[in-house]
C-alpha cells in the first residue's frame, strides 16, 4: 500500500507539473525547437519553474516507490498522471467530463487495476546476460532518438511531430526509471561509494535532460492533448519491458493472466487516448500550430 500511495503521489505531481510546463512552453521561441537553448528560455518563466518543481517532486516520489516496489507495479500507476492533469485542466477550462471523459477515466483506472491484479508483479534481482540488458536499453534509446530525428524533419505534420516527441520522451523516462531502480540497488548494497562509482546515476541525468528537451519541444509546438497521451502511454511500456527483460521482475504467465494483462494494457492505452483528446485538455499552442503549418517546407 505504501508503494501504491507513493506512486499515485508521484503521478499527481507529474500530471500537474506537465500542465504548468505546457502552459509556459507555448510562449517559448520556435527557433529553439529541439535545442538545449529552449531550457534556458523556459527557466526564466515562473510557471515553468513551478511545473519543473512538481515534476522533480514526482520523480523523487517515483524513485522512492521504485526502491520499495517493482517497476512492473509502479509504472502502470505512474500512467495515472493523466488523470490529475485532466482534473486540473477541467478546472481551468470548466469543461464537463461527458461520455468520452468518463470512459477514458474508467478505462485507464480499470486497465491499471486489471494489469496489477492479474499480473501480480513480483520483483527480483537482475540475473540477465549483460549483453541482453545492453540490447534492450539500446533498442529503447535507439527508438527514442529515431523518433526525435523524424520529428525534427520540417515536412512532418506538427500533430505527428508532437506525438513522436511524446513517445520518444516516454521511452526515455521508462528507461530512466529502470536505471533508477538499479541505482537504488547499488546504493543499498554499497552506499554512496557504490552508487557514485557506477555509471547508472550519470546516465539517468543525461536521459532526463534529453527527455526534457523532447517533451518541452512537444509542449512548445502543439496542444497538450497531442503529446501527453503519447508520453504517458510509452513510459510504462518501456518500463515494463525493462523490468521483465533484465531487472528480474516476474508476471503471472498463465493463459488467463496473460490475456487479462494484455487487455489491461490495451485499456490503459485506450483510456489515455480518450482522456488526452478530451476538450478539457488545454488547447495550448493552437495559433502557433497553425503558424507552423503555414511555414514553407
Q: Report the share of the chain in percent with pLDDT over 90.
A: 18
What local confidence, expressed as pLDDT, does residue 142 receive? 95
65 Cβ contact list (under 8 Å, min separation 6): 3, 6, 7, 10, 74, 77
pLDDT at 100: 76
User: What's the rounded mean pLDDT across residues 32-48?
Assistant: 82
Provide the greatest CA pair distance for the chain.
56
Residue-wise DSSP of 20-56: HHHHHHTTS-GGGTTSTHHHHHHTT-HHHHHHHHHHH
pTM: 0.78
pLDDT of residue 40: 83
Query: Once rounded to an integer, what is the mean pLDDT over residues 134-143?
Result: 93
Confidence tier at 297 by pLDDT (50, 70, 90): very low
Tell me: pLDDT of 139 over 90: yes
The arithmetic mean of pLDDT across residues 266-283, rounded, is 73
* Matching residue, cell 523518433: 147
Q: Is the pLDDT of residue 95 over 50?
A: yes
Place 192 in a pLDDT band, splitting at 50, 70 and 90.
Answer: confident
Neighbours of 132 (CB within 10 A): 11
Q: Does residue 3 register a pLDDT over 80?
A: yes
- Are 142 and 149 in contact by the 8 Å Cβ rule? The answer is no
Nearest Cα to Cα of residue 217 among 146, 163, 297, 142: 163
C-alpha cell at 79: 500512467
243 vs 93: which has the higher pLDDT: 243
Q: In this model, does residue 125 exceed pLDDT 70?
A: no
Whole-angstrom Cα distance, residue 152 to residue 223? 17
* Whole-angstrom distance, CA of residue 251 vs CA of residue 107: 21
Provide the strand spans (E) within the chain. Answer: none
pLDDT score, position 287? 43
pLDDT for res 152: 81
226 Cβ contact partners less than 8 Å away, ≥ 6 residues apart = 159, 162, 163, 166, 218, 276
Amino acid at each position: 500500500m505504501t508503494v501504491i500511495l507513493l506512486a499515485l503521489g508521484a503521478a499527481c505531481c507529474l500530471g500537474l507539473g506537465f500542465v504548468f510546463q505546457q502552459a509556459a512552453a507555448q510562449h517559448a521561441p520556435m527557433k529553439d525547437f529541439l535545442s538545449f537553448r529552449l531550457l534556458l528560455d523556459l527557466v526564466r518563466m515562473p510557471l515553468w519553474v513551478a511545473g519543473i518543481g512538481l515534476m522533480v517532486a514526482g520523480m523523487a516520489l517515483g524513485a522512492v516507490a521504485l526502491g520499495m516496489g517493482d517497476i512492473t507495479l509502479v509504472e502502470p500507476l505512474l500512467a495515472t498522471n493523466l488523470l490529475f492533469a485532466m482534473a486540473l485542466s477541467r478546472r481551468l477550462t470548466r469543461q464537463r467530463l461527458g461520455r468520452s471523459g468518463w470512459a477514458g477515466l474508467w478505462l485507464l483506472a480499470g486497465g491499471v487495476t486489471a494489469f496489477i491484479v492479474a499480473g501480480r508483479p513480483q520483483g527480483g534481482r537482475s540475473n540477465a546476460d549483460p549483453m541482453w540488458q545492453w540490447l534492450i536499453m539500446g533498442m529503447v534509446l535507439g527508438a527514442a532518438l529515431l523518433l526525435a530525428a523524424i520529428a525534427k524533419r520540417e515536412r512532418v505534420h506538427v500533430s505527428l511531430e508532437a506525438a513522436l516527441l511524446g513517445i520518444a520522451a516516454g521511452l526515455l523516462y521508462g528507461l530512466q526509471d529502470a536505471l533508477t531502480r538499479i541505482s537504488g540497488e547499488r546504493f543499498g548494497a554499497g552506499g554512496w561509494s557504490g552508487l557514485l562509482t557506477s555509471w547508472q546515476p550519470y546516465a539517468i541525468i543525461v536521459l532526463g535532460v534529453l527527455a526534457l528537451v523532447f517533451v518541452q519541444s512537444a509542449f512548445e509546438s502543439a496542444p497538450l492533448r497531442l503529446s501527453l497521451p503519447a508520453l504517458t502511454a510509452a513510459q510504462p511500456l518501456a518500463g515494463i519491458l525493462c523490468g521483465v527483460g533484465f531487472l528480474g521482475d516476474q508476471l503471472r504467465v498463465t493463459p488467463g493472466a496473460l490475456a487479462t494483462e494484455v487487455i489491461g494494457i490495451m485499456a490503459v492505452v485506450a483510456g489515455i487516448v480518450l482522456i488526452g483528446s478530451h476538450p478539457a485538455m488545454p488547447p495550448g499552442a493552437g495559433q502557433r500550430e497553425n503558424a507552423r503549418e503555414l511555414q514553407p517546407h
